[in-house]
């Protein structure tokens, strides 16, 4: 619902409606269409509706604020508008200039060219400003206004009043004997008092030539400042500039809540080869709900939401909202230093959050009071938020985006979302958002066939239709479409201080044959399966974001072996392609292999040992994130703890040991909400995480709190141990001790910091205790004394409490091909970390 509207017994009605809106029947007694943004049946133009039918008329009202109405200089005691007009006309008739008498105040109207009239009234006119407004012609200045359902219209010039004659269909016109076009306003009467408004058709374009040039070139990196709805002061008058890219349209008109979703009164002008249509509407400001009425090539019309809208109505309503931010940020310290250390050499532990369900029913402002404290307490360095951009279905991940520039409105306003990001930053937590540039839904009010032709999508259905998701793919080869997406990435980083973009479904963008059978896809110009346009888009997006937004990281959700996902764009690999330029890439192979291993009973794990070690074969081919994400705990895949074999104790022990292995493995880590306390049920958008599991009133709460305590300890030790993150992308930061202990279900390795300080990790996925388990130690650590810094089997985490001996001295006992070794006790189903004793 629009911020300026509320539910009434008769429908939606405006808050703070302008006098003109009320004069045209837009008040609390006026019913709206059943769904916002849907145009009602229109009456025949040029007829004056009766008061009995006023509630049903599509009164196409312009909603300009009627400030300056006193300029009409009506007699204060004139209660009848017609009497006031007559009095003014009499005053004007008595005025003389020298010996010449002022011409009559009601000049004769002339008929508009039939073709111009038809195009104007049917929404197919490319330049309504050439017909409407004021223009010099033989004999003076022609004034023409399009005011459907107005009873009368007059032009006010200084203290003069010029009555316009009705031409029918809401058109009013007069030729005034003036030497040049003056500054003027319109006085309009509908069913109520006269309203004095600024004429939208007296203003020059509010969009500059440089903006149009950059849009044509596809290089407007601040596109959101050029297109969409921009509140502004133009020609000394406050209002909103509306601009939309629709190159295939015959005409575009603005329809809004104040016009009852009828666009007749406000046709927009084409700005030439740019394909942009523009209109400045005086008096329209934040809170206005609007759409664009597109006249297609076949003459049919469709109401479309603004692709560049920076705010949107709450679904199922579909209109765009005029908005203007007044937010004052408080995260200066965070922004100044977030890029001090490159992300691949910094701690990076991510808590993934589905915003609408983390605390169901809670908005952005309330989340800002709860989420930062929770994440900070658990020691995560970042949150990854999903979904962020507006989308129709509240129960989804938000991967069918309909409002790319508008934060999801269900939880609050754009400034409310800024407040949440600000609160996370002030708590020292970075913010990553899930970003979806691969595809968009087919909703007829959104991007699909936006101006009646394929525009954001390719024209060939073999490239447009996505076979898996019932969506449309973007036409990455079109400069304006690529600009739309590149600017969108910059927009979130600059306008909302987002620290990272996790880019969804990159593989589906890179391959033309993704999920397509032979014959259902078109090869590229070289006959290959690579989508060259998508490659160019991703390279441009990454290069632009890294250039403009220091400290921001881009992360690819890419599941294939594409070469160079996280390589710089100017470096060409063996495949002939430059790098895509991402900062990090999700390691989907590690995720699938490791989850496959731990899902087996311990007795069978020795046959799958390589599933846990294979990731080290390619660990340094890209900069990786290890994701246990939302995708792995829904749709029958089970929650993480439920994937584990054994009884409840063994499931939790496996869960804890796996997390210990994950945090120690090279690469950053990501964990979806609910998995931090071993929630057993799959995620539900209606209930979110099962918080009752950690409620002290629940008898088994200790089991779940123990796992959460482990996650807190993992993050605490991780952040304080540079060996676990400084050299994530440097193969010199890792060394196997024994990667082949399949019979023992054990994995042991060393991690090193840049100064050579080691951390020893041993993950043991067998339910037995192994005494004096020996590990060979490299010669450089021959004199090291080791002490445990983490044991996932600790009783406080819900483990059995088998201790790992402290102060383990390296002995001169050859083992694993090394001259020195240590012997320690391995707890059952546990991961142990040991560090040099200080």
The secondary element (H helix, E strand) that includes residue 160 is strand 160-168
For 17, counting Cβ atoms within 10 Å of its Cβ (0-12 exposed, 13-18 middle, 19+ buried), the class is buried
Omega before residue 674 within 30° of 0, cis: no
Strands 770-777 and 668-672: unpaired
- Selected catalytic residue, list 557, 558, 622, 793: 557
Torsion angle (degrees, nearest 10) of CA 26, 32, 37, 40: -100
Q: Could you tell me which residues are beta bridge partners of residue 805?
A: none
SS3 171: strand
Distance CA 291, CA 319 (A): 6
- Provide the H-helix boundaries in 95-205: 114-121
Phi, psi angle pair for 28, to nearest 5°: -65, -15
Q: Is 504 a catalytic residue?
A: yes
Residues near 800 by beta carbon (within 8 Å), at least 6 away in sequence: 653, 793, 827, 828
Contact 406, 310 (CB under 8 A): yes
Q: What is the CA radius of gyration of the chain?
A: 33
Residues near 320 by beta carbon (within 8 Å), at least 6 away in sequence: 229, 289, 290, 291, 305, 306, 309, 311, 312, 313, 403, 406
Q: Is 557 a catalytic residue?
A: yes
Report the candidate in 594, 730, 607 with the shortest Cα–Cα distance to residue 663: 594
DSSP class per residue in 628-667: E-GGGSSTTS--TGGGS-SSHHHHHHHHHHHHHHHHHSSS
- Selected catalytic residue, list 504, 540, 558, 793: 504
DSSP class per residue in 539-594: HHHHHHHHHHSTT-EEEE---S--TTTTS-TT-B-TTSPBP---SEEE-HHHHHHH
Omega before residue 305 within 30° of 0, cis: no
Report the candidate in 491, 482, 608 with the shortest Cα–Cα distance to residue 533: 482
Check residue 793 and give left, alpha or beta (phi > 0: left; psi -120 to 50: alpha).
alpha
Strands 349-354 and 382-386: parallel
Report the candidate in 671, 823, 676 with the shortest Cα–Cα distance to residue 762: 823
Distance CA 80, CA 755 (A): 88
Contact 549, 492 (CB under 8 A): no
Sign of the CA dihedral 430, 432, 433, 437?
Answer: positive
What residues act catalytically? 504, 557
């Amino acid at each position: 619902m629009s911020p300026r509207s509320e539910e009434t017994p008769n429908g939606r009605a405006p808050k703070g409606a302008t006098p003109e809106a009320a004069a045209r029947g837009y008040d609390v007694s006026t019913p709206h269409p059943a769904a916002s943004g849907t145009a009602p049946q229109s009456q025949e133009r040029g007829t004056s509706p009766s008061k009995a039918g006023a509630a049903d008329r599509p009164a196409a009202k312009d909603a300009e604020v009627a400030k300056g109405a006193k300029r009409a200089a009506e007699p204060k005691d004139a209660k009848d508008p017609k009497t006031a007009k007559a009095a003014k006309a009499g005053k004007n008739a008595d005025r003389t200039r020298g010996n010449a008498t002022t011409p009559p105040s009601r000049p004769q109207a002339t008929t508009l060219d039939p073709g111009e009239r038809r195009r104007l009234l049917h929404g197919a006119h490319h330049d309504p400003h050439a017909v409407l407004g004021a223009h010099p012609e033989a004999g003076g200045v022609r004034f023409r206004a399009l005011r459907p359902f107005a009873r009368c219209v007059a032009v006010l010039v200084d203290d003069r009043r010029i009555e316009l004659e009705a031409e029918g269909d809401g058109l009013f016109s007069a030729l005034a004997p003036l030497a040049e076009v003056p500054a003027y306003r319109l006085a309009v009467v509908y069913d109520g008092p006269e309203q004095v408004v600024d004429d939208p058709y007296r203003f020059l374009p509010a969009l500059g030539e440089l903006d149009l040039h950059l849009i044509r070139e596809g290089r407007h990196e601040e596109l959101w400042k050029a297109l969409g709805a921009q509140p502004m002061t133009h020609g000394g008058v406050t209002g909103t500039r509306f601009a939309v890219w629709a190159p295939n349209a015959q005409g575009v008109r603005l329809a809004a809540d104040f016009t009852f979703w009828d666009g007749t009164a406000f046709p927009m002008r084409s700005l030439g080869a740019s394909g942009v249509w523009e209109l400045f509407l005086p008096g329209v400001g934040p809170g206005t709900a609007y759409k664009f009425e597109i006249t297609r090539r076949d003459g049919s019309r469709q109401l479309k939401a603004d692709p560049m809208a920076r705010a949107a109505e709450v679904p199922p309503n579909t209109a765009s909202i005029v908005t203007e931010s007044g937010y004052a940020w408080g995260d200066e310290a965070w922004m100044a230093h977030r890029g001090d250390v490159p992300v691949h050499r910094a701690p990076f532990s991510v808590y993934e959050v589905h915003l609408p369900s983390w605390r169901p029913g809670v908005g952005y402002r309330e989340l800002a009071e709860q989420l930062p404290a929770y994440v900070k307490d658990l020691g995560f360095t970042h949150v990854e938020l999903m979904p962020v951009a507006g989308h129709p279905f509240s129960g989804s991940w938000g991967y069918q985006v309909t409002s790319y520039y508008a934060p999801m409105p269900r939880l609050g306003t754009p400034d409310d979302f800024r407040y949440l990001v600000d609160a996370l930053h002030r708590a020292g937590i970075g913010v990553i958002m899930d970003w979806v540039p691969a595809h968009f839904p087919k909703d007829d009010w959104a991007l699909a066939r936006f101006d009646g032709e394929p525009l954001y999508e390719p024209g060939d259905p073999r490239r447009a239709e996505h076979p898996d998701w019932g969506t449309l793919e973007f036409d990455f080869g079109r400069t304006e479409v690529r600009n739309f997406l590149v600017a969108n990435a910059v927009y979130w980083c600059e306008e909302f201080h987002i620290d990272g973009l996790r880019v969804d479904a990159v593989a589906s963008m890179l391959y033309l044959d993704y999920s397509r059978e032979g014959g259902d896809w078109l090869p590229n110009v070289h006959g290959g399966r690579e989508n060259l346009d998508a490659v160019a888009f991703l390279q441009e997006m990454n290069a632009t974001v890294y250039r403009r937004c220091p400290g921001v990281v881009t992360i690819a959700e890419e599941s294939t072996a594409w070469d160079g996902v996280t390589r710089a764009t100017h470096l060409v690999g063996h495949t002939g392609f430059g790098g895509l330029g991402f900062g990090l890439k999700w390691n989907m192979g590690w995720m699938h292999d490791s989850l496959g291993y731990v899902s087996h009973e311990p007795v069978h794990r020795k046959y799958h040992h390589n599933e846990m070690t294979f990731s080290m074969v390619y660990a340094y081919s890209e900069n990786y994130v290890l994701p246990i994400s939302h995708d792995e705990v829904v749709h029958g895949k089970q929650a993480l703890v439920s994937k584990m074999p054994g009884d409840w104790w063994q499931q939790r022990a496996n869960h804890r040991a796996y997390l210990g292995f994950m945090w120690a493995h090279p690469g950053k880590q990501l964990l979806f909400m609910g998995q931090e306390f071993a929630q057993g049920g799959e995620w539900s958008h209606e209930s979110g995480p099962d918080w009752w599991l950690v409620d002290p009133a629940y008898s088994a709460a200790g089991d779940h709190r123990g796992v959460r305590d482990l996650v807190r300890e993992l993050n605490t030790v991780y952040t304080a141990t540079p060996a676990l993150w400084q050299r994530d992308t440097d193969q010199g930061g890792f060394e196997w001790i024994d990667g082949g202990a399949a019979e023992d279900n054990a994995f042991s390795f060393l991690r090193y910091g840049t100064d050579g300080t080691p951390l020893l990790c041993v993950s043991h996925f067998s339910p037995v205790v192994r005494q004096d388990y020996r590990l060979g130690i490299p010669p450089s650590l021959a004199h090291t004394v080791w002490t445990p810094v983490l044991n996932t089997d600790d009783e406080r985490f819900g483990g059995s409490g088998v201790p790992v001996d402290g102060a383990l001295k390296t002995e001169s006992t050859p083992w694993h091909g090394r001259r020195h070794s240590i012997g320690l006790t391995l707890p059952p189903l546990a991961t142990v970390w040991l560090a040099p004793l200080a």
